[in-house]
Amino acid sequence: MTPLEATKTMYDCVAQGDWNAVAEFMVEDFVIHEPSTLPYGGEWRGRDALERLFGTVMTFWDDPQVEWLDLVGGETHVVALLLFTMTARSTGLRFSQRVAEVTAFNSDGLMAAMHIHYFDTGEMARMIGS
């Protein structure tokens, strides 16, 4: 399975809530890097990092919607371009934010790291009142 195919399949598993399957795509010491300016920012480590991060992120947002803009990949990296639309639980404000999720793969074809890049983390922090 190519990194692009693995990423598509992994995101399908996320959509189905199949976190055990999601973990199979990742190395044991998988790490997600979220911007430190967000309340859930920092490094999330382990094969269950995405599941834990998702659970934490969803405590801040209601009615999240994800629009896939593009998914591109090569031999070692895949970039998911997304448009998130959500409502901040703390303020009731609804807004959209472009996101690029960059995933790095190791030589065995497993996901080693993910960097999340939001268009405007300042706007996100303002929307949740932090």
Q: What is the C-alpha to C-alpha distance for residues 129 and 5, in angstroms, rounded to an integer?
A: 38
> How many domains, the chain?
1
Query: Residue 79 sits in which domain range?
Result: 3-128
Q: What is the CATH number of the domain that holds 24?
A: 3.10.450.50
Tens-place pLDDT, residues 96-114: 999 999 999 999 999 999 9
pTM: 0.90
Q: Are 58 and 76 in contact (CB under 8 A)?
A: no
Q: Tens digits of per-residue pLDDT, 66-102?
A: 999 999 999 999 999 999 999 999 999 999 999 999 9
